Structure formats: C-alpha cells, structure tokens
Amino acid sequence: MGIFDFLSGEFIDVIHWTDDTRDTMVWRFERHGHEIKYGAKLTVREGQAAVFVHEGQLADVFTPGLYMLETNNMPIMTTLQHWDHGFKSPFKSEIYFVNTTRFTDLKWGTKNPIMLRDPEFGPTRIRAFGTYTIRVTDPARFMQEIVGTDGEFTMDEISFQIRNIIVQEFSRVIAGSGIPVLDMAANTADLGKLIAAEVSKTLEGYGLTMPEFYIENISLPPAVEAALDKRTSMGLAGDLGRFTQYSAAEAMTSAASNPSGGGGMGAGLGMGMGMAMANQMSQAGPWGAAHAPSPAASPAPPPPPVEHVWHIAENGATKGPFSKAALGRMAAAGEITRDTHVWTAGQDGWLKAEDVQELAQLFTVLPPPPPGA
C-alpha cells in the first residue's frame, strides 16, 4: 500500500448523522484532529442542518441535501481559506449537526401562584401548567447564542430557561387580559396562541421559535375552590328548603359513617334526621299523592326572607360581612360614605353604596327636629 493510498483511507468520504434519541438538539461530528477530506460527501437529512465552524469562526450552513465538499459548495469556507484553485489536502473544521424538527410534549408550570385581580373574586391567586413545542429556526444563531462548543447539546440544557420565559409571559398576559377566572377555561386556545407569540419574540434571539403552546389546567387555591363547590351545591339545591334537606342529608351521611365518634348519639342523630327528611319528602316528593296532608290542614308558612350581609372594600382590603343595621350605625358614625364600595352575594361586582337601592336610604334618613325647636 502506497503512502497516498494510506492517506486516502485515513479519512472517511461520507459525513452524516442519524439521531436515535428524542432530546438531542446539536451533535458534533467527531473526527481526530477535526480533519475533513476535501471532496468528501456530506449528507444532511430532512429535519437537520449542518454548520461548519472553521478556526473558531462560523462558516457555511448546509440545509437538507447531498453535497460534495469542494470550493463551489463552500463559499464562506473558500473565502476564509483563500482557496483560489482546487484544494486536495484535508482541512480542519468542526461540523455540527443541528436538529431542526419539533421537540414536543415539553412540560411547563407555575412554580409559585400568580397574583391577579378577578372581576368576581377580587384579588386572587392561580396556578397553571401545560405543554409546549420548540423548534430551531436559525441554526447559526442557535450555535452562536446557546450551544457554543458543546459537542452534544440536549433539550434539557435549555428547557429551564425556556420555562422561566414562559412563566414570565404567562403571568403578564393573564394579569392583563381581564378575563374572569371562571371563563379562562373557555379561552385557553386563544390564550395559548397569544402567549406563544409573546414567548417567540424572546426566543427569536436564540434562533428558536415556539410553534405550539397548550394550557392544560388553571386552578384556584383550595380555599377558593371549596367556596366555589359550596356555591355550586347551593345552586343545585335550589331554594332554602331544598338546601336544608341537602344539608341534613349530608350531616346524616357523615354521622352514619362515623358511629364511634359520639357513641349512640351519632346513630340517634342520623335516625332523627332521616325521619325528618322522610317526613319532608313525603309532603313534597313524588309520593305526595299517597301521603298528602288532608285538605283541612293549613299550608306551612314560607321561610323567612334571607337578610343580606355586605362586604366593604377599604384601602385595598375587604372587611365584613356586616348586616344592614351594622352598616346603618357605621354610616351614622361616618365610618362609611356614599362612595364606599360594597358587595353582597348575587351582586355583579363592587358597587358604591349610593348605587345600591337597599343601602342608599342609610344616607338620606335625617333625625326629626329636637323638642322645642
């Protein structure tokens, strides 16, 4: 074997990369001394890009295709090497393959609750989580800004930074959207597109883009969720009488499931509630025709009206609840005015006291003239 044949066999003729992982973004073609044979074949598959780095400078970028590494296919490299004619010896360059396909099913979530003002609940906190996708759109910029000289760069190395950007933009967009928390579930698709567009503006400087962003869940603090569940239960129960029946049934179930908590008292209480429930249901339930009271029996009086209780907003904080009588005393003492914001269950947002018909009279009642006046 001659010396020329030995040198020809020392360097491979085909340069390519097949990725068998799911998270490798950049892989450096390893060659002893980084010596590439002039005229070698470079194969760049779909979903890849090949970046040449020569003597520390980013040179040519190759898109999918088959290339012969010659002067006509490497214009930047030719300029850097001052190749005015055919060059037959090996040249030293580093070749990085960049994965340009989408990296999917990447997780994000809010590590801490996000504070916002809700039209219905006032100041509240929410948490959220979901998935997103990332794609390299500018291999050269991605190499310059993120990868550097890393021989094998994975998605895990940048995912933490991307999650920080997502949470920042998510907090800003959600807080400024003005969408009530209860309506966010119906707007997750539009919110996702808006957040992806805002995040992509920052990722553009890294040579990346975010094609998709999904919000899987938005949750409230446990105490607020418990209050919502009770409000929903009251809505399902209907009027006060039905809600009383619902509460009695809940208490009976709880007492029956814990007979040891109060000895025979729990069982007796459950039995008594069950009898009371049976009596009420026999008068109003589907068996009313068989157990209806006699025509001479007088109907039961309606339940007394439920008195409203009010909350007041003062210096960014909520106080209350207060009865109407208590608000009357506060109005007389000057502790609240017509411009004080108040809220009660069923009211659509905060209103000034003078705009609530039930409370406006508290500021118009004047005492009669004193005796002898």
Distances in Å between the alpha carbon of 121 and those of 53, 109, 231?
57, 23, 13
The per-residue pLDDT for 291 is 46
As beta bridge partners, residue 54 has 57
How do the pLDDT tens digits run along the chain, 373 residues long? Answer: 444 444 444 445 688 899 888 889 999 988 765 567 777 888 999 999 999 887 778 888 899 998 887 755 565 555 555 555 455 556 677 889 999 999 999 999 998 888 888 888 888 889 999 999 999 999 999 998 998 888 899 999 999 999 999 999 999 998 888 888 888 888 889 999 999 999 999 999 999 999 999 999 998 888 888 877 777 776 655 555 666 666 677 677 776 666 555 544 455 545 555 555 556 555 555 444 444 445 556 677 777 666 778 888 888 888 888 888 888 888 888 888 888 898 888 788 888 888 888 888 787 765 666 777 6
Torsion of CA 64, 67, 70, 74, to 10 degrees: -10
Please name which of 49, 44, 96, 46 lies closest in space to residue 66, comparing C-alpha atoms. Answer: 44
CA distance 296 to 281: 20
- CA atoms of 51 and 106, how far apart (whole Å): 26
Residue 319 φ/ψ, nearest 5 degrees: -120, 155
Phi/psi for 101 (5° steps) reads -80, 170
Q: Please give the pLDDT value at position 30.
A: 81
Domains of the chain: 3-99 (no CATH), 103-220 (3.30.479.30), 228-259+269-279 (no CATH), 309-363 (3.30.1490.40)
End-to-end, the C-alpha distance of the chain in Å comes to 133
**Residue 288 has what pLDDT?**
44
Q: Quote the radius of gyration of the chain (alpha carbons, Å).
A: 37
Structure tokens at 43: 């194969």
Q: What is the Cα 169 distance to its own chain's centre?
A: 11
Residues 71, 77, 79, 84, CA torsion sign: negative
User: For residue 332, what are its two tokens?
Assistant: 């007389």
CA distance 107 to 151: 25
Q: In angstroms, rounded to a whole number, what is the distance separating the alpha carbons of residues 241 and 301? A: 12
Q: Which residues contact 93 (CB under 8 A, 6 or more apart)?
A: 34, 36, 52, 53, 54, 59, 77
Cα–Cα separations (whole angstroms), residue 244 to 256, 278, 292, 326:
18, 13, 21, 27
pLDDT at 166: 93
Nearest to 76 by CA among 53, 108, 104: 53
